[in-house]
Structure 1
Amino acid sequence: MTLAGRAVQAAGARWRRRVADRAADVTGTLAGRALLVLAPHPDDETFGCGALIARARAAGSPVTVAVATDGARSTASARLSPAGLARLRTGELHAACAALGVTDVLQLGFPDGGLTDRRDALTTRLRGLYRDLRPEYVLLPCRQDAHPDHRALHEAALAAGPPRALAYPVWAWFEAPVFPAAAAADRVALWAWAAARSGWLRVPTGPYLAAKREAVSAYLSQTTNLTGEPGWSHLDPRFVAAFLGPHEVFRPA
């Protein structure tokens, strides 16, 4: 790794520690609450709030995981078609949720990479979920994630009128405070968000980190070069490690 790369990695680690240290512990606030976890792709629920999900299920609290897309476009492959990749990721999703204690898993069927163009339909679908499931808290991806599906789901989830909403960072958690993947037009807002010293919330991973690790390991298509193809896209081990710390963090949405 280059000197610049090591500097960026160190800055990210310091930023994450600072955010977690300054965050308010809301473990008691969320205890016993019915949760609806919204994920743009299979695996975001686990990286964003897997330990919180496991904690809630261990306490007997109802948790529904609703995934907007099938993740069929996560990588190019000569060995797996998009449909085959979607089936693989569906299996991984259910295995990961089982590790977290969740059996109520919904797949909303929107196309991977297409949430921005279907925001109105997504909002309508989420409004129906809120009405039918009556969650006390909705967990959703944060607005600062650079991926357009994450942003579109965030906006649709809020437009649908959730009772209470907490946003979990995924790409923003790993990329801050440098945000190399952010569009230039978003940099000022992203920097301001990254520098904020208040408003963060946390829940310790504690004994539920083991369940989260098991759930992460279910996503072999995302954490390994599953087929051995040179072009297979998967997450850097440093990305995975950033989500296996002593706390999960959130912001009020």
Structure 2
Amino acid sequence: MSHSKRALTIVSPHLDDAVFSCGALLERTPGATVVTVFAGTPTDTSLTDWDRQCGFQDAGQAMRARRAEDAEALAMLGAEPMWLDLLDAQYGGDYLPQDVEGQLAPCLGRQRGGIVAAPMGLFHSDHHVVHEACLRLHARHPGLDWLCYEDALYRRLPGLLQERLASLLRSGWRLTPLIAPPASGLKARAVRAYASQLRAFGEGGHEDTELPERLWRLARHDIG
């Protein structure tokens, strides 16, 4: 699967999901853009349990560090970050798909004839709402080639991927598996740039990022 001559935008729920799930694709598609939806910093700087496990003292410090990690990782892969200011769920973010759709629409409006890769939306509420927002955007951008990527780490939870594929089929979507590019040492180095997150995952907690990426082409069923 070669995308080297086509513009690529990857929609990432959090500041690590795109590299964890699509690092090999990014490496082979120079100049890609990664739009991270939940990259906002809360005004309330209280300390969440996850941020504590990552070694931070408050939310502001955590988000500054995460953006720096993301910029470093994407630079290794020749990609550009675009950070939206929505808050992730641990900071009280609670959005409807149409809220996220409205934030993402301008990012895709500038792209013509390229590829958009969206999360399959497994397990995490933030991932699910981004997935649903991207399904809504699909109809508004028929000239784009839409892919779904399997959310790293969550895709290994029993039954979740199968349930999502079945739900999409029932809703009138057609997904076709693609041959994804193999991962390399460069992706592994980019993954390690997210040092704060790996600390919280613990030993072996991110091993799924070393396994082959899986991508699906997303299209509507022909009706009538």
Alpha-carbon distance in 2 for matches of 1:37, 1:71: 18
1:249 corresponds in structure 2 to 214
Q: Is the 8 A contact 1:168 1:251 kept in 2?
A: yes
Residue 167 (structure 1) aligns with: 148
Q: Which runs of 5+ in 2 are unaligned?
A: 42-47, 168-174, 219-224
Contact 1:174 1:239 survives alignment (8 Å): no
Distance 1:47 1:95 in 2: 14
11, 17, 36: which one aligns with 1:44: 17
Any conservation in 1 of the 2:74–2:190 contact (CA below 8 Å)? yes
Question: Taking structure 1 as the reference length, what is the TM-score of the superposition?
Answer: 0.69
The aligned counterpart of 1:109 is: 85
- 2:118 alignment partner AA: L
CA distance in 2, matches of 1:148, 1:244: 24
| SS of alignment partner, residue 37 of structure 2 | strand
Q: Name the stretch that deviates more: 42-51 or 70-79.
A: 70-79
In 2, Cα distance between equivalents of 1:115 and 1:134: 31
Q: What is aligned with 1:122?
A: 100
> Offset at 1:174?
2.4
- Aligned pair in 2 of structure 1 residues 239, 199: CA closer, same or farther (>3 Å)? farther
Shift of residue 128 of structure 1?
Answer: 1.4
Partner of 1:176: 158
Cα drift, residue 100 of structure 1? 0.8
- Give the secondary-structure state (helix, strand or coil) at the position aligned to 1:69: coil
Q: Which has the higher helix share?
A: 1
**Residue 147 (structure 1) aligns with:** 124
Distance 1:244 1:188, change over 3 A: closer
Unaligned 5+ runs, structure 1: 1-26, 180-186, 225-233
From the superposition, tell whether residues 35 and 105 of structure 1 become closer, same or farther in structure 2 (CA, over 3 Å).
same
Counterpart-to-counterpart distance in 1, 2:19 and 2:10: 10
Q: Which runs of 4+ in 1 moved over 6 A?
A: none
User: Relative to structure 1, is the Cα distance of residues 116 and 164 closer, same or farther in structure 2, using a 3 angstrom cutoff?
Assistant: farther
Aligned positions of 1:197-236 closer than 5 A:
199-205=176-182, 209-224=184-199, 234-236=200-202
Q: Could you give the per-residue CA deviations for residues 10-53 of structure 1, whole angstroms, max 9, x where no partner exists?
A: xxxxxxxxxxxxxxxxx13x332110011000000101101110
Between the aligned partners of 2:6 and 2:206, the Cα distance in structure 1 is: 28
Distance change in 2, residues 1:249/1:126 (3 Å): same
**Does the 8 Å CA contact 1:124/1:160 hold for their aligned counterparts?**
no
TM-score, normalised by the number of residues in structure 2: 0.77
